[in-house]
Homo-oligomer: A and B are copies of this chain.
């Protein structure tokens, strides 16, 4: 069961102009698809597409021939050797200062997923069985709302149209919930002054009285603003996500906040956990196998959260169907996943790199019981999406620069309010 070959393919797919505290999504989102070949089978992985990361993934791929598909320890060792002291900053600033350990975790992840996919395919078992077995048949996802422009500059409005105030956000939520049946809602904030985003939360509460709501300004607020918003939204939010930056400031907010704080910014690696626990920075951690080092590492994170009584939710970046399947298997096998999972799936307009993506309906994805991840690469789609990448010219996500082209005075500031 040795790896015969590894193919790494950068791709790009259309992305709507979704606003966040750093800027706005560019017309193309980047991603890297990993195929690992062994004994006539292929295992799939999906990860970030930014050039520095892509280059490390390619470099690691070159070291994997002959690796046994069960030997995840040796995978880590070989990737570590390939990376040396490489230390790639997260340009989007979401996960704090870079370290070689964080870089290693991000590069290991797509290969680990691909090897688990291969193991499952080889023995005819779903990936969740390799993680201890599923505890649920349906994984709930949340509607992930964004303030957005009607369309990209110099382009027609997209199918979602503008959402630049509470009416737009409620209309977006309604459309998304009509399509997917989501049973909870997350609003990406940090775009407008807090009062305006609080108004949107109130409007969502009025429009969807029974649905849990979350607000995530990506650390756009000071401690004082965060506390003010937390007090004003008391009773409205199931959790407030990364109102401010850093474990010390999050702890200061948590102390006064009536609802739990969640994070995918100040606890993003195992090394962050001891301080976060000691300070009481957060009540909920958003797992994400893409940067925690894979599915097994995410299961370890879950064990830690269970042990320390920390809630567990799941984070999403723009992604396609391999990541959706991996997230679903992980969620299925994680007893203490307490919240609906974030996903960007609705924003990808049905574009995918797999022929048989999981379907979200009535707010949930059914957990596949077929071998491996349960999804199949669409070779033609991969070729088309790679062609996009060749032609789009984008090599690193730059939400800030893109927004500045439209609003020259825009600056990324954390905190802004």
Taking Cβ atoms with an 8 Å cutoff, the residues of A that contact B are: 68, 70-75, 122-123, 125, 129-130, 132-135, 270-271, 273-274, 277-278, 296, 299-300, 303-304, 306-309, 333, 335
Contact B134 A73 (CB under 8 A): yes
Q: Is the CB of A72 within 8 A of B304?
A: no
Residue pair A132, B72 in contact (C-beta under 8 Å)? yes
Q: What's the Cα separation between A270 and B71 when bound, in Å?
A: 27
A74 near B133 with CB under 8 A, answer yes
Q: Within the complex, which residue of B71, B73, B303, B309 is in contact with A303, where a contact is CB–CB below 8 Å?
A: B303
Q: Would you mind naming 18 contact pairs between A and B with Cβ atoms under 8 Å apart?
A: A70-B129, A71-B129, A72-B133, A73-B335, A122-B123, A123-B123, A270-B303, A270-B307, A271-B307, A274-B277, A274-B308, A274-B309, A277-B277, A299-B300, A300-B300, A303-B303, A303-B304, A304-B307
Instruction: Tell me which residues across on chain B come within 8 A of A129, comparing CB atoms.
Output: 68, 70-71
Q: Are B307 and A273 in contact (CB under 8 A)?
A: yes
In the complex formed, the residue of B with least CB distance to A129 is B70
Kindly state the separation between the CA atoms of A123 and B71 in the bound complex, as whole angstroms. Answer: 15
CA distance A334 to B294 in the complex (A): 17
Nearest B-chain residue to A112, judged by Cβ: B132
Name which of A72, A129, A271 has the most chain B CB atoms within 10 A of its CB. Answer: A129
For A134, the chain B residues whose CB sits under 8 A away are 71, 73
Closest B-chain residue to A70, C-beta based?
B129
Q: Which residues of B contact A300 (CB under 8 A)?
A: 299-300, 303
Closest Cβ–Cβ distance, residue A142 to chain B (whole Å):
23
In the complex, residue of chain B having the shortest beta-carbon distance to the beta carbon of A270: B307
A329 to chain B, nearest CB (A): 13
- Which residues of B have CB within 8 Å of A306? 270
CB-based contact B133/A70 at 8 Å: yes
Query: Chain B residues near A132 (CB, 8 Å)?
Result: 72-73, 296
**In the assembly, what is the distance between CA of A278 and CA of B133, in Å?**
33
A73 to B130, CA, bound (A): 11
**Distance, CA A299 to CA B129, complexed state (A):** 17
Determine the residue in chain B with the shortest Cβ distance to A297.
Answer: B303
